[in-house]
Amino acid sequence: MVMELVIATRNRKKVGEIRRILEGIPVTLHTLDDFPGCPEVEEDEATFEGNAIKKARAVAGYSGKPSLADDSGLEVDALGGAPGVFSARYAGEGADDRKNLEKLLSELRDVGKEKREARFICVIALALPDGKVDTFRGSVAGRIGTEPRGESGFGYDPVFYPEGHERTFAEMSADEKDALSHRAIALRELRRYFATLMND
Ligand code: IMP
């Protein structure tokens, strides 16, 4: 049985990461490009789980197919867990990756190297058209550098050093990031879930 699945994000980098990690699973992957009329969902929940579930349910309801949504972000200890669920909009109106990253570095200007602990969190929600939903969570600990380094990845990758590594996510190859990342951990959980479904 080949299952159809809609990836409920317009972020191409995320779609790429999700495709790579789900490779080999017998699912036909669609993206929101295949459902151009799908309404935008406001990410106004207080938790990653809440936002991921809201997005996955909306797309499953619209497309009539099982849908998978990712809500993710960066939690910085010295900032009381910010930017957290606001990671994509941290710099406010007109925020983009560069502005968010500049704001983060400026907020951490006076914070010493040993106090810059952070973690990326990713929650994947899988929603069925009947409203049933499951969530899968991954996190990766690390620290925030003092200047951007590297060109790959997206978002806060150029300032995030995963624990035990002296290179940022943006200095790593896609495969290296996939071996460590919060999204890859959550997706591997999802892979295991699919494997049990297919063996039932
Ligand atoms: P979302 O699209 O609402 O889940 O927003 C997630 C935001 O968190 C992104 O815009 C990025 O700023 C940040 N983020 C999530 N995952 C990553 C990652 O793997 N690398 C870098 N930044 C990330």
Give 175 Cα–ligand 1 centroid separation in angstroms.
18
Kindly give the confidence (pLDDT) of every residue in the chain, 200 residues in length, as a single tens digit, with 9 standing for 90 and above: 668 999 998 888 888 888 888 888 888 999 999 999 998 899 999 999 999 999 999 999 999 999 999 999 999 999 999 999 999 999 999 999 999 999 999 999 999 999 999 999 999 999 999 889 999 999 999 999 999 999 999 999 999 999 999 999 999 999 999 899 999 999 999 988 887 877 76
What span, in angstroms and rounded, lies between the C-alpha atoms of 73 and 182?
A: 10
Give 84 Cα–ligand 1 centroid separation in angstroms.
10
What is the number of domains present in the chain?
Answer: 1
- The vertex-69 CA angle with 81 and 53, nearest 5°, equals 70
Contact 163, 141 (CB under 8 A): yes
The interaxial angle of helices 12-22 and 182-199, nearest 10 deg, is: 40
Enzyme catalytic residues: 71
Nearest CA owner, ligand 1 atom 12: 155
Domain of 86 in residue numbering reads as 3-199
CATH number of the domain that residue 182 is part of:
3.90.950.10
Read off the pTM: 0.92
